[in-house]
Amino acid sequence: MIDFAALHAAYERDGVYALQLEVNDACNQGCVYCYMNALPEPEQALGDEEIISVLDDASALGVTAIEWLGGEPLDRIGVFEVMEYARGLGLRNNVWTGGLPLIHGQVAEATARLCAEGLISVHLSTLDSELYESMHPGRTADDMAAILLGVERLIESGYPADQILNSMTLTGFQTAEDAIATIETFEARYGIRTSLNVYHTYLRPDTPPGKLVRFIPSEEAVRSAHRRCERQWGGRMPMNCVDKRYCSATVAVLNDGTVTPCATIREGACTVRDEGGLAGCLERHTEELLLLALKRGDVCLEECRSCGLSEDCWGCRSRAYACGAGLWGPDPRCYRRRRAS
């Protein structure tokens, strides 16, 4: 699923392993906690030509994987053509879908075919109907059933369960017990592991930060869910998505062309629309985009010195940024940090 040899090589050469490509901002799933405030109707999208140009640059830069993001990437008209183009360049396709479009057999089939070397991630943060509806105002628990049906379609088509993830956002809405029940159901029913994303978007357009506090999960819930995932993934897990190498060797192109170190960081210093494309942005802004100050150790996180995981982890840069501690600040959701400091 992840080519760790390629990831480590990209990290060592200050290169890029994964490009997160946010092709639109529209999504019907209505997650109340959505980090990018996706809308039912599209307002922003990268054009086909822009996507092709970004893919060409990514290929020339030695990128291994394209992480297709939205909104809902599978609802973007023409997405399969550009995924096909990426595959033709030798890039792996990883799709991060809410899951609703997979109920359509043709969409499931095309996604499975184009992601044969990569992964498909669906998004269900709970399997509790009442909770699902409270986390998706205006939607019903029928969506939950539809997403599961889409997952079953993928598996029935022969797509390997170990290349499917459930992307769970842990928020202040779920209890640790609910999160663990969801993780265990995906594992027991389908053999699918969970990618745990601890809620961290304290900044959202038009929403005062104070109103977002309720979304933040408790330290105890984070610890419990994280520990259950560690059993599933077989070892101590950093607070970073994969590890700090992935975090550094990933860049994002947002749906308005802005280039940032990660799609969950919504502000960036450059855009593919006016800085010579992706290659130009990377040339001018390597330091910030690849988090080089952290890699070199120019910026030290005191809290991480004695935790025993700092070889693999420096905490999520996006959570630090979103809570106002800046790109180099401590990860506010790290439950190990207090003991380490």
Q: Cβ 76 to ligand SF4, closest distance in Å?
A: 22
Residue type, 152: E
Nearer to ligand SF4, 84 or 302 (CB): 302
Least distance to ligand SF4, CB of residue 314, Å: 6
Which of residues 107 and 263 has its CB atom nearest to ligand SF4 in the complex? Answer: 263
Helices (H), the chain: 4-12, 48-60, 79-88, 105-114, 129-135, 142-156, 176-190, 219-233, 244-248, 277-289, 292-296, 317-322, 337-340
Residue 1 or 110 with smaller CB distance to ligand SF4: 1
Shortest approach of ligand SF4 to residue 208 CB, angstroms?
A: 23
List of residues contacting ligand SF4 (CB under 6 A): 238-241, 247, 250, 262, 264, 301, 303-304, 307, 309-310, 313-318, 331, 334, 336-337, 340
Burial 176-207 (b: 16+ CB within 10 A, else e): bebbbbbbebbbeebebbbbbbbbbbbbbeee
Q: Smallest Cα–Cα separation from 163: which of 124, 123, 118?
A: 118
Between 52 and 325, CB nearer to ligand SF4: 325
Of the pair 58, 316, the CB lying nearest ligand SF4 is at: 316
Please state whether beta strands 65-69 and 258-260 pair in parallel, antiparallel, or not at all (unpaired).
Answer: unpaired
State the Cα–Cα distance between residues 53 and 303, nearest whole angstrom.
41
How near is the Cβ of 269 to ligand SF4 at its closest, in Å?
16
User: Least separation, in Å, of the C-beta of 319 and ligand SF4?
Assistant: 6
